Chains A and B, each alone.
Chain A
Amino acid sequence: MKNYLQLNLSLLYWILIAPFSGQFFKIAPIFRQMVFIGVRAAPMVALTAFSVGVTLAMQAAHSLQSLGAEMYIPDLVMITLLREMGPVLIAVIVIGRSGSAVAAELGTMKVSEEIEALEVMAINPVQYLVVPRFLAMLVMLPALTIFGNYIGILGGWAVCRFALDFNTAGYVMRALESADTWDLYSGMIKSVVFAWIVITIACNAGLNVEGGAEGVGQSTTASVVQALLAMLVTNAVLTGIFFFSA
């Protein structure tokens, strides 16, 4: 826990303070990480989001048809996706895929003395390794979430269009009407917070690995479990703040 707080403080230092004293972070490594964390996760995110969109629409149809309220299916798909399912599910994918990879990569570097070598070369591991991953995650998780939202809505449309008697224009109109910008923004705020949680937990786990390859495995698993729990609890808290306190 102490390590985790220290990591966060030193991250803030390298991102907010160091650039003003001439130590600006390099851009190229950030893009490399964005490709790894974000672009390569896109197919998985698309598949997940599409299935969720389809499932949501089917469940909504099931419940709403008995009330004769099929016209509200797009509303339900849209709001559930934007507010909850989008940010949470895509964070789950990114934790499983990129969070674990970052923890394992940094952990391997730790046990093979690479981190120590960096320090001895007077290269700060937080600046050199964590900052690019952090910034990449902070950009890519929200971006993936927006992308996933679109695909999810497409999934909902597929059900409405081909299984129910919606026409495309009707679906789109209904969906757009139901959601207001706050639904989108709240989801975006969530996914930025999740990005922070996921990447700091992963990096912290990696940098503090002890005990060889076995230690790397244990830390990686622990980081995935911790990130999932932290993310879900935070989601509940944020939903409470956003939609129950006003």
Chain B
Amino acid sequence: MNANGETIIEVEHLVRRFGDRAVLDGISFNVHRGETLVIMGGSGCGKSTLLRHMIGSMKPTSGSVKLFGEEVTGMTEREIERVRLRFGMLFQSGALLASLTVGENVALPLVQHTDKSPDEIEQIVKQKLEMVGLTGFEDLKPDEISGGMKKRVGLARALALDPELLFSDEPTSGLDPIMTAVVDELTLNLTKGSHMTAVVVSHDMTSAFRIATRMIMLGHGSIVAQGTPDEIRNSSNPEVQQFIHGKADGPIPLNLSQEEHKDHQHVRPRPFFGARFRFHHKHP
């Protein structure tokens, strides 16, 4: 939307290795206030890992991550807590506390970080749960609700403190099309109305194009393509086209073993003939 607004996130030359495998290999991008950045990419390409580095729960091998202008990679726990109060995070698994009820999970940040009375908190919890289409589930435990419901409770919890910045890891996976639309609508409203900034990891192309103001596609450790939804839709990069149209046949490697994965990264960038193990479809 406003690419010249205040810069909220600055990621520079981010490198993360697990053993000698570079899952993130020199990633740089910025996110400005009010934007919704959608991060796409194949399963296991490092999207969740990238988010974990942005929220400061993983330390990079090298490179820098700045949130609200402050470098988070070298921060102590105490310093980073201050930054963390300003953003919310929805984990891919929901990461609800199993010992608390749905209501208590959403209330947790409010109980811990505000002086609100129990009545006020109850009110806010109700309102947040309503926003994600869950009313009357406050007293259930996380293991008594479905996967998609857990996701939405996680989202309500991430929004409990009305953060300026929201990270969500696949908020709509496991949701039916109507609920997906509700969650997308919610993201749109929040980024429009209160100038919240959102970073969303998504596999769901319909949803991604609906909410994104900018998109990044990850592949073999780096950014394969980035731009506005229109630029991505019209991208000439075959990997991008294969991904957004969900084709099995194309340049994206499908069947990588760990060894191949390594080789593949050594010869990067090789987007056009990177696939050595490709499914060959016999057309009927």
Q: Which residues of A contact B (CB under 8 A)?
A: 105, 108-109, 112-114, 116-124, 128
Contacts and interface: CB of A to CB of B under 8 A. Distances in A.
Interface string B268-281: 00000000000000
Contact of A114 (B82, B89, B95): B95
25 contacts: A108-B98, A109-B98, A112-B93, A112-B95, A113-B93, A113-B95, A114-B98, A116-B57, A116-B91, A116-B95, A117-B89, A117-B91, A117-B95, A117-B96, A119-B77, A119-B84, A120-B57, A120-B89, A121-B89, A121-B108, A121-B109, A122-B81, A122-B82, A123-B108, A128-B112
B237 to A, nearest CB: 33
B55 A121 contact: no
Interface in B85-120: 85, 89, 91, 93, 95-99, 108-109, 112-113
Would you list the 9 A-B pairs with minimal beta carbon distance, nearest first? A117-B95, A113-B95, A122-B84, A122-B81, A120-B89, A121-B109, A122-B85, A123-B112, A114-B97
A33 to B, nearest CB: 11
B109 to A, nearest CB: 5
Nearest to A120: B89
Contacts of B93: 112-113
Q: Which of B55, B91, B97 has the most CB of A within 10 A?
A: B97
Contact of A121 (B77, B98, B99, B112): B112
Nearest to B52: A116
Contacts of B89: 117, 120-121
Contacts of B98: 108-109, 112, 114
A29 to B, nearest CB: 10
A124 B77 contact: yes
Given A109-B98, A112-B95, 16 more contacts: A109-B97, A112-B98, A113-B91, A114-B95, A114-B97, A117-B89, A117-B96, A118-B97, A119-B57, A120-B89, A121-B89, A122-B81, A122-B82, A122-B84, A122-B113, A124-B77
